[in-house]
C-alpha cells in the first residue's frame, strides 16, 4: 500500500470589493438572481451567474419541487441554460452565492456533488477551465481556477 496526496489551491477574497470589477459584477448578478430561487422547502436560496466567451451572462437559481429530488440547483440551471442557448460558447467564469431564509450564511458555499459533475462535463467538453467564485450571503469569497480543484478525481468519458 502507498498513500497519495491530492491538493487544491484556492484564492480567498475577504470582501466583494477585493474582487476584480468583472467578477464583482458577475457576483452581483448571482446575488440578484438568488432572490428568484423557488425554495419553499429548504429555505436555502442559491444564485449562479456565468460569463461566456461571447460576452453574454447566463443566470440560474435553484428550483425545488415537492416531489424531492425533482428540483435543480442554480449551477445546473445556469450551465444547462448556457448549453441550450449558446451551445458553441465557452463558460469562462462562474459566480455562486447561497443564502438561507433562516440564518445568515457567512462561509463560502461550494457547488454540490451533482453540480460539480455537471460543471466538469462542460469544462471537459470545452477543453478550457472554468474560473469559479463562490460565497455565502456575506463573508469571504473562494476562487478556483478550474473545477478540478473541487473535483480532483472527476469521472469523465475516458472511463466509459
If you count them, how many residues does the chain have? 160
- Supply the residues annotated as catalytic: 75
Separation of first and last alpha carbons in the chain: 27
Burial bucket for residue 128 (CB in 10 Å: 0-12, 13-18, 19+): middle
Listing DSSP states for 71-122 in one string gives: -B-HHHHHHHHHHHH-TTPPEEEEEEEEEESSS---S-----HHHHHHHHHH
Residue with cell 456565468: 50
Amino acid at each position: 500500500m502507498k498513500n497519495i496526496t491530492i491538493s487544491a489551491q484556492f484564492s480567498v477574497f475577504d470582501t466583494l470589493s477585493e474582487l476584480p470589477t468583472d467578477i464583482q459584477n458577475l457576483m452581483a448578478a448571482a446575488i440578484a438572481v438568488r432572490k428568484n430561487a423557488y425554495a419553499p422547502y429548504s429555505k436555502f436560496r442559491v444564485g449562479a451567474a456565468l460569463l461566456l466567451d461571447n460576452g453574454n451572462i447566463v443566470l440560474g437559481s435553484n428550483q425545488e419541487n415537492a416531489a424531492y429530488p425533482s428540483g435543480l440547483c442554480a449551477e445546473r440551471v445556469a450551465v444547462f441554460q448556457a448549453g441550450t442557448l449558446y451551445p458553441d460558447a465557452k463558460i469562462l467564469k462562474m459566480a455562486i452565492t447561497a443564502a438561507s431564509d433562516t440564518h445568515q450564511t457567512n462561509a463560502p458555499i461550494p457547488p454540490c456533488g451533482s453540480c460539480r459533475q455537471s460543471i466538469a462535463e462542460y469544462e471537459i467538453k470545452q477543453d478550457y477551465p472554468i474560473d469559479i467564485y463562490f460565497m455565502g450571503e456575506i463573508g469571504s469569497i473562494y476562487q478556483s481556477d478550474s473545477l478540478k480543484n473541487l473535483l480532483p478525481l472527476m469521472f469523465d468519458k475516458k472511463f466509459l
